[in-house]
Chains A and B, each alone.
Chain A
Amino acid sequence: MIPFDFEYYHPSTIQMAVDLYQHLHEQGKRPLYYAGGTEIITFARANSIQPGAVIDLKSIPECNVLAMQKDMLIIGACVTLSALSEANPFPLLSRAAQGVADQTARNKITLGGNISGRIHYREAVLPLLLANGRMVIAGTHGIRVTSIHQVFNQELRLAGGEFIVQVQIDRDYISLPFAYFKKREIGHVGYPLVTLAAFRINHEIRTAYSGVCAFPFRSAEIDEALNDSSLPLAARIELAIGHLPAPLLDNVEGSPAYREFVLKQTMADAVHTLERR
């Protein structure tokens, strides 16, 4: 049971949502945009967040789009991870989505919620980082479209009152050869020790990681090291590990030393898979 009350709104247009946020914020109600609600409900139950109001985005038509328009795939922020995998418009993203939580939870978890969440993993972000996805963002100044790299650095960094309406992916990325590994401590469900998503593009490998550090990331230095064909693979991986952007994660899923061991093996798996393709 959630131990406090909050107000609930479900606007049907982008403008109504932005105006509501502004209004509730001015009243000191600490509003949160609400999509699948799975993180908001579980965090609120544990009393680790206390929003005074939630603004449900699921009735906004633009947030539910899933369509190919010209050379661009458009995915509404409220599309659920199971709908995304079922429709399979971008196979690498489907794989990443299918690795999150479990099938029933994925009927509720949304793409926008996974990108914006607070937990370390946010695995659906990895394909978007690799594909230089663009984010359609609504706020008091209207709609802006910007590269994911401009707004996602360790976490989503939006101005107050902004929310993600859609994600756009260029068609060129959708059918690239890819590799995806999610390695857990045990079983098929649960948070990762290491998740690695990779593309092969113009004979080079491009990688992104979750579970390794306390946030998902893509690193030009790591990719440069992994693509250095003058070195044997073990040396490339050793060099790549030296470029991790933060300390290895240390939690119940695994120690830093174990994670490093699994990460090295996973990097080797990804390189072998993509060199064969």
Chain B
Amino acid sequence: MSSFDADHHRVELQVNGEQRTVRVRAAETLLYTLRHHLGLTGCKPGCNNGDCGACTILVDSQPMKSCLMLTVEAWGKQITTIEGLMGTDVQRAFAENQAFQCGYCTPGFIMNCEGLRRVHPHANEETVRVWLESNICRCTSYEEIHRAVKDVFTLHTDKGRNL
């Protein structure tokens, strides 16, 4: 990261496999940069306060609330947004189970679930429950979301990779 002056920085980001360079205020959140500098509007601003999970992305494969991270902190890290996923099992399971109504929370839920698959490929029911608590769906599609996530992990059971 190079510094123009101490409150503005040129930051090199690895986003969805591509190197991107942005010039940002040090006080800018990653959520803002992704949406307004890079046009990646899949991460949604909800509460902007760390409560709802709509802005969830993966940072080095771990789910992070992008409203709780400064862009300058993401220097050198691998960032994945919903735009970086292509037909994953998680996306398919959400579509097949119609795990959304308005869809605003969906990218956040999918990114969290994708992170869970990467960090705990053999997650049990309790781990799934704990991780899903990080996201809120104001349309209350919880039943369908839970079914979608369960499908993802059961699919892996059938392939003998899980449980």
Residue total for A at the interface (Cβ-Cβ under 8 A): 30
Q: Which of A8, A42, A58 has the most CB of B within 10 A?
A: A8
List chain B residues, Cβ under 8 A from A108.
Answer: 64-65, 68-69
List B contacts of A37 (CB < 8 A). Answer: 68-70, 73
Given the interface pairs A45-B48, A104-B112, the reply to whether A8 lies near B7 with Cβ below 8 Å is yes
Q: Decide if A6 touches B62 in the complex (CB within 8 Å).
A: no
A2's partner among B29, B72, B133, B134 (CB-CB below 8 A) is B29
Specify which chain B residues have a CB less than 8 angstroms from the CB of A105 in the assembled complex.
50, 65, 68, 134
Is A188 engaged at the interface, CB distance under 8 Å to the other chain? yes
A71-113 near B? 1/0 per residue, CB < 8 Å: 0000000000000000000000000001001111101100000
Residue B122 interfacial (CB < 8 Å): no
A107 proximity list for chain B (CB < 8 A):
62-64
- The complex places the Cα of A58 from the Cα of B67 at a distance, in Å, of 18
Instruction: Report B23-40 residues with CB < 8 Å from chain A CB.
Output: 25-29, 32
Contact B68 A42 (CB under 8 A): yes
Instruction: Judge whether B6 is part of the interface by a CB distance below 8 angstroms.
Output: yes
- Across-interface contacts of A44 in B (CB, < 8 A): 27
CB-nearest residue of chain A to B24: A8
Assess whether A56 is interfacial by the CB under 8 Å rule: yes
Give A21-57 as 1s and 0s: 1 = Cβ < 8 Å from B's Cβ atoms. 0000000000000001110011011000000011010
27 contacts between A and B (CB under 8 A): A1-B28, A1-B32, A1-B48, A2-B27, A6-B27, A7-B26, A8-B6, A8-B27, A8-B72, A37-B70, A37-B73, A41-B68, A41-B70, A42-B49, A42-B50, A54-B26, A56-B73, A101-B50, A102-B53, A102-B134, A104-B63, A104-B112, A104-B131, A105-B65, A108-B65, A108-B69, A189-B134
Q: Which residues of A contact B (CB under 8 A)?
A: 1-2, 4-10, 36-38, 41-42, 44-45, 53-54, 56, 58, 98, 101-105, 107-108, 188-189
